[in-house]
Amino acid sequence: MKIGQGNSKFNDQTSDNIEWAKWSWNPVTGCKYGCKYCYARNIANRFYKEKFEYMVHRNRLTAPVNTKIPKKRINEEGIHNVFVCSMADLFGDWVETEVIQEILDVCEASPQWNYLFLTKNPKRLLEFTFPDNSWVGTTVDCNARVANALKYMPHVKAPVRFLSCEPLLEDLNIESLHGFDWLIIGAQSKQTEVPEFQPEQQWVTKLISTAREAGIKVFIKPNLRVELPDRPKEYFQARPIVRPGRQAQQTTMFLEGLEATTL
Ligand code: SF4
């Protein structure tokens, strides 16, 4: 298959799992971290023949070119946002540097999309310079992850850095969110191995107040059902829309070049 002509597309994301992105894209799948609440492992074990083993799917690199936003959805919040590797941790230590760089290069060549990256290994993010159309985050679900997040995230070379506290499992000790641009808070949804878990209201309001002190945006996930005085769902301003024909051509040319040199 010629990489510039594959028919892979983004997945239309309709569930509440990643409400802040209307698409997901999985050029890599599988993860070696063992989070009990992992919805991705649940899905992979049910539907993928390779289960949750680490896999690279280069045939999916054409998805940014092939995916078009339906006209009637053009004004939807988050419609330009693509969650990269919803079925993996792209920045796990086992993922080859070239694979990550190849994906970042494809993202840079398709600026009609915003790409969202999320990892539990924030130290690895420092190895890369992220393109202008990327938002990069780390998950902090418990206090054991706070130190690494605060140490590494402010130094990540990305236009938007975010913290995802989902599922929020503890009363987090985070003194300041300076260095971040966005905070996402969510609960633990029911999975095969874990029941639903809702954090205490005070854990959530404390985080929101830390975010307000730092002047950053806050997004409360629908799966968080504790009573709150308000439930902010703040995004960044929508990106300017690039003419699709011109952009698709640019990205296809990039992918064809990639095939000639590296694939
Ligand atoms: S890091 Fe993410 S993908 Fe990996 S096991 Fe944990 S929740 Fe699942």
Burial of 170 (0-12, 13-18, 19+ CB in 10 A): middle
Q: Give the model's pLDDT for residue 237.
A: 64
Tell me which residue has its CA closest to atom 8 in ligand 1: 38
Ligand 1: does its nearest atom lie under 6 Å from the Cβ of 102? no
Instruction: Categorize the per-residue pLDDT at 4 as very low, low, confident or very high, splitting at 50, 70 and 90.
Output: low
Tell me which residue has its CA closest to atom 3 in ligand 1: 88
State pLDDT tens for residues 180-190: 999 999 999 99
Structure-token pair, residue 163: 């913290």
Instruction: Categorize the per-residue pLDDT at 191 as very low, low, confident or very high, splitting at 50, 70 and 90.
Output: confident
Q: Which residue in 202, 81, 209 sits closest to 137, CA to CA? A: 81
Number of structural domains the chain divides into:
1
State pLDDT tens for residues 61-113: 999 999 999 999 998 888 999 999 999 999 999 999 999 999 999 999 999 99
Ligand 1: does its nearest atom lie under 6 Å from the Cβ of 118? no
Pocket test for ligand 1, best of 31, 85, 165, 169 (most atoms within 8 A of CB): 31
Q: Give the model's pLDDT for residue 220.
A: 95
Q: Give the model's pLDDT for residue 72.
A: 94
Distance CA 218, CA 234 (A): 6
Instruction: Categorize the per-residue pLDDT at 257 as very low, low, confident or very high, splitting at 50, 70 and 90.
Output: very low
Percent of the chain with pLDDT over 90: 78
- Taking the centre of ligand 1 as the mean of its atom positions, its distance from the CA of residue 40, in whole angstroms, is 7
Average pLDDT, the chain: 89
- Taking the centre of ligand 1 as the mean of its atom positions, its distance from the CA of residue 157, in whole angstroms, is 23
Tell me which residue has its CA closest to atom 2 in ligand 1: 89
Tell me which residue has its CA closest to atom 6 in ligand 1: 35
Q: Which residue in 33, 126, 31, 13 sits closest to 78, CA to CA? A: 13
- Taking the centre of ligand 1 as the mean of its atom positions, its distance from the CA of residue 33, in whole angstroms, is 6
Q: Give the model's pLDDT for residue 193.
A: 87
247, pLDDT greater than 60: no
- Taking the centre of ligand 1 as the mean of its atom positions, its distance from the CA of residue 263, in whole angstroms, is 28
User: Phi and psi at residue 178, in whole multiples of 5°?
Assistant: -65, 140
Q: What is the CATH number of the domain that holds 185?
A: 3.20.20
CB count within 10 Å of CB 29 equals 23
Domain range for 98: 3-261
Lowest-confidence region among 16-20, 172-176, 242-246: 242-246
